[in-house]
């Protein structure tokens, strides 16, 4: 290599790393989320394995509030590329728990640079989006990786391909169920209002047949222009009085997370989604059953 090329490279390297852009010098993605077939797939046309309430993991079967038996890195190693989480209570933020959680994901993202990843968070206590949520992403180092859509809401068919998200290193999509429209303190460009872009069928289902209907959605886009999430996490009512007490059904998890059960649910929603597969398959106990295999099937990959 002659000197001027070396200098040029050195210049490009320092310039691009300054711009958080070592990615500019990196080779174009040829394998995206584990598969070359997914590189040219639009984000809105991809099915992602989704870990329900990913915070709430415990290996103790007596921990009734748990929804996952394995920790976050394990959930991701199994193939979850969407983590759903409820950030109840300010303590989760002040105690650093949200930040620790995000840092774990950041570690995974750094180690897996050819992967697109989605968060679907709930904001039950209506924490401020610019005041509480954004600082947590900033502190974990995720903000520079977060995708900012050119306009919002984005239609299902308008999303970039996985390769575009990976090559620009804007490969984290962040949805929040409430407040992202600006009603909780203001708008943050990368924190997106979920129901304007992703509808859900009934949550906390207790019927193992998972009858599909559009339960939570919001305008201005039509439901056809939304992506959709299936709540495929079966619950049991352990105290069937009044509102009851729902717990995640661990005993039936192998059946719930089987290919047959997940595909039947996806097919049940197909008439409501122009025949398309769900974008997010939300499961409890993702280490049990065949969630990853079924998601690969829904993506049309050979399994």
**CA-only gyration radius of the chain, Å:** 20
Classify each residue of 20-40 as buried b or exposed e, where b means 16 or more C-beta atoms within 10 Å of its C-beta.
Answer: ebebeeeeebeebbeeeebbe
Least distance (Å) from ligand NAG to the CB of residue 157? 9
Q: Does 265 bind ligand NAG (CB under 6 A)?
A: no
Q: Does 45 bind ligand NAG (CB under 6 A)?
A: yes
Size of the site for ligand NAG (CB under 6 A): 16
Q: Does 178 bind ligand NAG (CB under 6 A)?
A: no
Q: Does 115 bind ligand NAG (CB under 6 A)?
A: yes
**Nearest to ligand NAG of 108, 203 (CB atom):** 108
Q: What is the secondary structure of 2-30 as a DSSP string?
A: -HHHHHHHHHHHHHHHHTT-HHHHSPPPS
Each residue 66-85 as x (binds ligand NAG by CB under 6 A) or -, in order, gives -------------x-x----
Q: Which of 106, 226, 265, 276 binds ligand NAG (CB under 6 A)?
A: 276
Q: Does 292 bind ligand NAG (CB under 6 A)?
A: yes
Q: Does 48 bind ligand NAG (CB under 6 A)?
A: yes
Q: How many CB atoms lie within 10 A of CB 1?
A: 7
Q: Which residues, in sequence order, are CB contacts of 291 under 8 Å at separation 6+? A: 49, 78, 79, 257, 262, 281, 283
Q: Does 172 bind ligand NAG (CB under 6 A)?
A: no
Least distance (Å) from ligand NAG to the CB of residue 267? 11
Q: Which of 277, 281, 286, 288 binds ligand NAG (CB under 6 A)?
A: 277
Q: Does 201 bind ligand NAG (CB under 6 A)?
A: no
Q: Does 123 bind ligand NAG (CB under 6 A)?
A: no
Each residue 4-43 as x (binds ligand NAG by CB under 6 A) or -, in order, gives -----------------------------xx---------
**Nearest to ligand NAG of 117, 195 (CB atom):** 117
Q: What is the secondary structure of 212-236 as a DSSP string?
A: ----B--SSS-GGGSEEEEE---EE
Classify each residue of 115-131 as buried b or exposed e, where b means 16 or more C-beta atoms within 10 Å of its C-beta.
Answer: bbbbbbbbbebebebee
Rounded to 10°, the helix 259-269/291-298 angle is 40
Least distance (Å) from ligand NAG to the CB of residue 126? 30
C-alpha 22 chain-centroid distance? 25
Q: Does 163 bind ligand NAG (CB under 6 A)?
A: no
CB–CB of 127/93 below 8 Å?
yes
Q: Alpha-carbon dihedral of residues 146, 173, 38, 265, nearest 10 degrees? A: 170
Residues that bind ligand NAG (CB under 6 A): 33-34, 45-49, 79, 81, 115, 276-277, 279, 292, 295, 299
């Amino acid at each position: 290599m002659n000197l001027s090329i070396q200098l040029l490279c050195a210049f490009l390297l320092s310039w691009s790393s300054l711009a958080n852009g070592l990615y500019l010098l990196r080779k174009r993605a040829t394998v995206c989320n584990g598969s070359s077939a997914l590189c040219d797939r639009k984000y809105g046309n991809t099915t992602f394995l989704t870990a329900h309430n990913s915070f709430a993991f415990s290996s103790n079967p007596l921990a009734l509030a748990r929804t996952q038996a394995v920790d976050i890195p394990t959930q991701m190693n199994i193939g979850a590329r969407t983590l759903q989480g409820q950030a109840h209570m300010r303590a989760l933020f002040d105690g650093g728990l949200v930040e620790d959680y995000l840092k774990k994901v950041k570690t995974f993202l750094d180690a897996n640079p050819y992967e697109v990843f989605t968060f679907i968070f709930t904001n039950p206590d209506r924490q401020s989006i610019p005041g509480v949520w954004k600082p947590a992403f900033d502190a974990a180092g995720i903000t520079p990786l977060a995708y900012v859509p050119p306009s919002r809401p984005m239609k299902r068919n308008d999303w970039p391909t996985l390769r575009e998200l990976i090559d620009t290193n804007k490969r984290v999509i962040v949805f929040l169920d409430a407040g992202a429209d600006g009603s909780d303190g203001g708008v943050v460009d990368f924190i997106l209002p979920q129901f304007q872009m992703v509808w859900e069928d009934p949550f906390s289902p207790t019927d193992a047949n998972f009858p599909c209907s559009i339960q939570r959605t919001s305008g201005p886009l039509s439901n056809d222009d939304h992506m959709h999430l299936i709540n495929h996490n079966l619950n049991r009512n352990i105290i069937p009085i009044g509102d009851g007490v729902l717990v995640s059904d661990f005993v039936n998890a192998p059946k719930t997370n089987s290919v047959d059960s997940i595909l039947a649910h996806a097919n049940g929603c197909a008439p409501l989604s122009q025949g398309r597969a769900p974008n997010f398959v939300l499961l409890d106990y993702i280490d049990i059953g065949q969630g990853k295999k079924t998601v690969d099937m829904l993506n049309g990959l050979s399994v």
